A and B are shown apart, each in its own frame.
Chain A
């Protein structure tokens, strides 16, 4: 009973916030509603006893990805008028993509793998069952090669992103910490020996 209440509560929040992401006029509000929808889907995953995935969703997407996303969106000065200009022009394309996606999802959900009798209820497991351990075992034995390939692709993407951002930075003003650390007094300061100027009289110098 309680599980159903929790499920419908968070499904409602998820659907509502996902709609708001698209509907809101302010991009910051859209991003914050996206955060809320991540939370709601994490709660639904917790109901499926997938605690590792649920917490990883909050940790990675909410804690890191969306923070950077907000960071960028807040810096941009998005003009909503120009964003909405092409709405009518792109509407047919958008509808086509939406219909295709709905059809594809319908095919997957309606296929033999997602029959409702195979997924009737979640098998309840004991408290000593560790979702994290099972996931790790599967990932590092059965799907080891796929995992390694995904890792290599991500590494290439990191290097590509860094090299793209570094390619035109010949004129940047970044500081070299090594030079700062090894700077000596003699590099910055020159002590000049000179005569004291005691021969000038106070009254005359002021006048």
Chain B
């Protein structure tokens, strides 16, 4: 389906544009560029729509968990439609609001900070494979690229905290910096475990090396790393119970306390885009990505063979996204010293020990994963 639409756009929109507007020498190159832009848009537009509706589902899910209804008023054309128009209304409200730059703030950095926090989380989608063939940039060092880009998100937070020239914002930025550096190490070691198990840094190869059945997925041999990766992802995205960088009850809203309107909403979008990214990476690296959960089961495998592989990836991603919301509604916020202790004294030793275990499993060709 998606291929057909892409081919249609490529043939009927992009090809006429390049042939009509450009000299013959540059047509082929321009067509490639335009095709890439269409591919990028076909990833980013759904991601941003998901971000918008993820905020709606967060309010609905947490409302359900807490015995409330959640947003149910804003709809379309006079129909309330369970409040489905809420994200659109929020976006319109935030766009028309004024962006206030505080006096004494560093204007250039103040404006740059939200962009710096959103850009890496969108750029990381370049290497995410949606099935065996659908990937924008099939690069060798995909895993490293993702790790490098997720570690950059902290700059938006730090620069926002410093440029705001506000004590609360600065405290939030300091907390966030220390927390992200601590959890990045655990996250990196968890990814080294995936690398050892898969024998490749390419995300597509990592998924393909998990094929077989549900028990072939890496969540069993790498179970401690799987748990640590997801919890570190929670900490890296500054989500509850690790949201001390925002800490509404202590430091008002932390690093983005001085931001309003669209500048604030870009931070908001960055947080949600990062959550979706962590969810899709957990699905890819530990839960078999686009592989069907019925693979290897005689009757069911054929019964579900019509389902496109991308559906399984999106279903797994949705489950991890739901976990983010579930955790937020369930756990109280960690105290700061407990966060540091968990990161440095619990997670890092466990990951190092489990790396040795995984290496031993790989070297001894332990079935069913590494034979």
Contacts and interface: CB of A to CB of B under 8 A. Distances in A.
Contacts, number: 66
A67 interface: yes
Contacts of B180: 67
B99 to A, nearest CB: 21
A10 interface: no
Nearest to B158: A70
Given A32-B159, A64-B184, A51 B152 contact: no
A35 B156 CA distance: 13
A81 interface: no
A51 B158 contact: no
Contacts of A68: 177, 181
Interface string B147-167: 110011011001100100000
Contact of A35 (B109, B155, B188, B341): B155
A56 B148 CA distance: 8
A71 B174 CA distance: 7
19 contacts: A35-B155, A56-B144, A58-B148, A58-B152, A62-B152, A64-B151, A68-B177, A70-B158, A71-B174, A71-B177, A74-B158, A74-B170, A74-B174, A127-B140, A130-B201, A131-B140, A132-B140, A174-B337, A177-B341
Contact of A55 (B141, B177, B337): B141
A59 B144 contact: yes
Interface in A40-89: 51-52, 55-56, 58-59, 62-64, 67-68, 70-71, 74-75
A175 B345 CA distance: 14
Given A64-B151, A64-B181, A70-B158, 6 more contacts: A51-B140, A56-B144, A62-B148, A67-B158, A68-B177, A177-B338
Interface string A17-28: 000000000001
Q: Interface range on chain A: under 10, 10 to 19, 20 to 34, or 35 or more? A: 20 to 34
B139 interface: yes
Contact of A71 (B140, B152, B178): B178
B264 interface: no
Nearest to B335: A175
Contacts of A177: 338, 341
B233 to A, nearest CB: 15
B145 interface: yes
Contacts of B139: 51
Given A68-B181, A74-B162, A131 B151 contact: no
A63 B151 contact: yes
A132 B195 CA distance: 12
Interface string B173-213: 11001101100100010000000000001000000000000
B172 to A, nearest CB: 12
Interface string B44-55: 000000000000
A51 B141 contact: yes
A28 B162 contact: yes
